[in-house]
Amino acid sequence: MLKVIDTEKLPIKMWLNDIEDGAMKQALNLANLPFAFSHIALMPDAHEGFGMPIGGVLATKNVVIPNAVGVDIGCGMCAVKTSLTDISKTQLLQIMELIRQQIPLGFEHHKKPQSEDLMPHAEDLDKMKIVKHEYNSALKQLGTLGGGNHFIEIQKDQNQHIWIMVHSGSRNIGLKVAEHYNNIAKKLNELYFSKVEKKQDLAFLPLTTDEAYNYIQEMKYCVNFALANRKLMMEQIMNCFVNVLPVKYFEPMINIAHNYANFENHFGENVIVHRKGATSARSNEIGIIPGSMGTKSYIVEGLGNPQSFNSCSHGAGRRLGRKQAIRELDLTEEIKKMEEQDIIHGVRAKSHLEEAPGAYKNIDTVMENQKDLVKIIVELKPLAVIKG
């Protein structure tokens, strides 16, 4: 931990020094919530989000806050180590072409529904109003990457082993669940004259309400859908590898989510921990912290630091907003950074700069700032990147 701000109702414990004004204001709002518990934790990748900083961890008593989870419920990372220790540029390009043929990117989805056997099981699916409404559409979105900062990356570790990493979430089903229950929370808070100001975008649902119960059930389904989405993509990517190279084995998939709320016990109290752009880092838990498409990523082991509510960063974190990155970054310079490292990438136009390496914080600094949260066990260098 680098600093503590103790001017508010609750302390704000920070694992970074450089935080933008907007994210700091949001953290101050969190620290004064009447139901916030113990303290607010800001991970080293923290930056401004909607209502709550991305890279923030908030524990609450007796309420759940949809906007403290966000719209891409269950978004997360998965990674698989392969038996391969050598891969040529030609082979990388062949694999990337096959991946693009198999996995829809951006707003695209499958033309035909995927098997229902791949969807998360839920005994009370009929009671999940939004999930049920979106179910048929979700069948076509299962196994699709999505846009924004979602990616598929082929990497090499320090022992030359080739890895596959995927970053994706719950697609439209998570968005619809998040929006629906956030709107309900706003209406209820207004009806009962909530002390939480509307402009803070932190409308909450008391756990005693049916609305909170329903949100939690649908949120959990979206977390499981996001995992099913990543698993299907990973299986398809592994098949692409096998079609090009003689892969002897793939190790079991590592998975970690970073947008969800979870019932946990901290400092002797049962609370709901909201992780928005933050990942669980319990003692000995294996996690994934990606950099940008031009920097290293890491497989880590959690240290179980109670001060972060057993959490760590979910990545490098944005240094520049999307529009700001397009305005300020130099396209030629960003391409040069990756080509000097011989990374196969898709940055071709000014609009692509929103996901360029220069838009993100220095991953080395981020990792240094959370040495008390995680231990690095694998370093991964990017070889080829597909962005949503």
Residues known to be catalytic: 314
> Is the distance from CB of 78 to CB of 230 less than 8 angstroms?
yes
Query: Number of H helices and number of E strands within the chain?
Result: 8, 17
User: Which amino acid is residue 377, in one-letter code?
Assistant: I
Question: Three-class SS of residue 211?
Answer: helix
Largest CA distance in the chain: 64
Nearest one of 41, 195, 218 to 122, comparing CA atoms = 218
What's the rounded Cα separation, in Å, for the pair 181 and 68? 12
> Is the distance from CB of 81 to CB of 161 less than 8 angstroms?
yes
For the record, the structure tokens of 109 come out as 């989805």
Question: Three-class SS of residue 376?
Answer: strand
> Which backbone phi and psi does 358 adopt, to 5 degrees?
-65, -15
Alpha-carbon torsion (320, 254, 388, 279), positive or negative: negative
What's the rounded Cα separation, in Å, for the pair 229 and 110? 12
For the record, the structure tokens of 344 come out as 């196969």
Locate the DSSP E strands across 158-209. 162-168, 205-206
What's the rounded Cα separation, in Å, for the pair 115 and 132? 16
> Which backbone phi and psi does 202 adopt, to 5 degrees?
-130, 40
User: Which amino acid is residue 193, in one-letter code?
Assistant: F
Region of 354 please: left (phi>0), alpha (psi -120 to 50) or beta: alpha
Find residue 280's DSSP bridge partners. Answer: 311
Question: Three-class SS of residue 279?
Answer: strand
